[in-house]
Amino acid sequence: MVKKNQTLGEFIIENQAEFAYSSGELSRLINSIRLAAKVVNHEVNKAGLVDITGAAGETNVQGEDQQKLDVYANEKFIQTLTNREIVCGIASEESEDFITIAGQNNDHKNKYVVLMDPLDGSSNIDVNVSVGTIFSIYRRVSPIGTPVQLEDFLQPGHKQVAAGYIVYGTSTMLVYTTGHGVNGFTLNPALGSWYLSHPDMKFPETGNIYSVNEGNYVHFPRGVKNYIKYCQEEKEDRPYTSRYIGSLVSDFHRNMIKGGIYFYPTSSKAPHGKLRLLYECNPMAFIAEQAGGRASDGFNRILDIEPKELHQRVPFFCGSKNMVIKAEEFMAKDPE
């Protein structure tokens, strides 16, 4: 049941039956994410005023300068998720290892794991360009009552029970799926409430926007170079428009509304691609497919990839179905 402008709280109650294992735990988990998102949004929106945008002086497991806002967002989501007694473990882009949450009775009874990129695109913070949070939720596979294991996190994307993102843009939106379509909620910062502004979001089957860092062109496989030339040639519905923000969530969100493809291929500089399978590609692929789009590594469905390690990188092609299929055709002809 979808009614435009209802609040997120009303939506969750009305659609409770949709939530996996509808004992209300997943609903409470989504509620904890929306609370943390409001807190992080407040800090993101005033980052320019407070000395919080500067690099935290440390680097994360990716060897990237850790912006203070990265650290803040990571801490807020971990704190909120831990307090709700639903999650038995959290994996984050900002932490090398996963975090175990034993629960208040130290009984390891919590049933869900969350994987997240707490602030994706954070290099955009100090130039006032939108950033995002990405999350992915699974039911644990290890026995309840024992500490969470790496196997709970290394599940293929098609096992996700929910996934979503928050985009801290001109307005702040929470977009998520529990496997029953995709719905977008816009935050009214004055009231602190989220309103269903984009019910039942769908990727247009085709589009005319392509999003890739063309600065890497010389390093791309031949198939990617040929697809980019295809996008640029004067023929049929082309040339397409090139739009690349450098923030996955923002590029994905715009392409889902307008139609388009985002791709971060392998290159001689990034032989496995740059994006992380578990907390960037899998959640965005789940959302894309639920919205009628498509997501692959150029050859294989993202959601079928069997993960091997927590911070594993994969090439990523995602967006309007017909555009991703066309890119895959070019990759099949010239994969190297």
Binding-site ranges for ligand P6P (CB under 6 A): 120-121, 123, 213, 246-248, 274-275
- Quote the least distance from Cβ 27 to ligand P6P, whole Å: 29
Place of tokens 């990034």: 270
- Quote the least distance from Cβ 65 to ligand P6P, whole Å: 11
Q: Would you give the DSSP letter of residue 7?
A: B
The residue (of 6 and 250) whose beta carbon lies closer to ligand P6P is 250
Enumerate helices (H) and strands (E) in the chain, giving the number of each: 8, 15
- Quote the least distance from Cβ 140 to ligand P6P, whole Å: 27
- Quote the least distance from Cβ 55 to ligand P6P, whole Å: 14
- Quote the least distance from Cβ 274 to ligand P6P, whole Å: 6
- Closest C-alpha to 223, from 263, 181, 178: 263
Q: Round to whole Å and give the CA distance between 181 and 53.
A: 35
Q: In which region does residue 307 sit, left (phi positive, over 0), alpha (psi from -120 to 50) or beta (all else)?
A: beta
Residues contributing to the annotated binding site for Mg(2+): 93, 117, 119-120, 280
AA identity, residue 23: S
CA distances from residue 10 to 2, 22, 25 in whole angstroms, order as listed: 10, 16, 16
Query: What's the token pair of residue 91?
Result: 């994996």
- Quote the least distance from Cβ 288 to ligand P6P, whole Å: 15
Q: Round to whole Å and give the CA distance between 295 and 274.
A: 15
- Quote the least distance from Cβ 173 to ligand P6P, whole Å: 16
C-alpha 3: how far from chain center: 25
Q: Alpha-carbon Rg of the chain, whole angstroms?
A: 19
Decide: 295 and 320 in contact? Cβ < 8 Å: no
- Closest C-alpha to 324, from 177, 157, 215, 211: 211
Q: Round to whole Å and give the CA distance between 295 and 29.
A: 26
**CA-based end-to-end distance of the chain:** 47
User: Half-sphere exposure (CA, 13 Å, Cβ side) for 105?
Assistant: 7
CA distances from residue 175 to 27, 184, 206, 224 in whole angstroms, order as listed: 15, 4, 21, 29
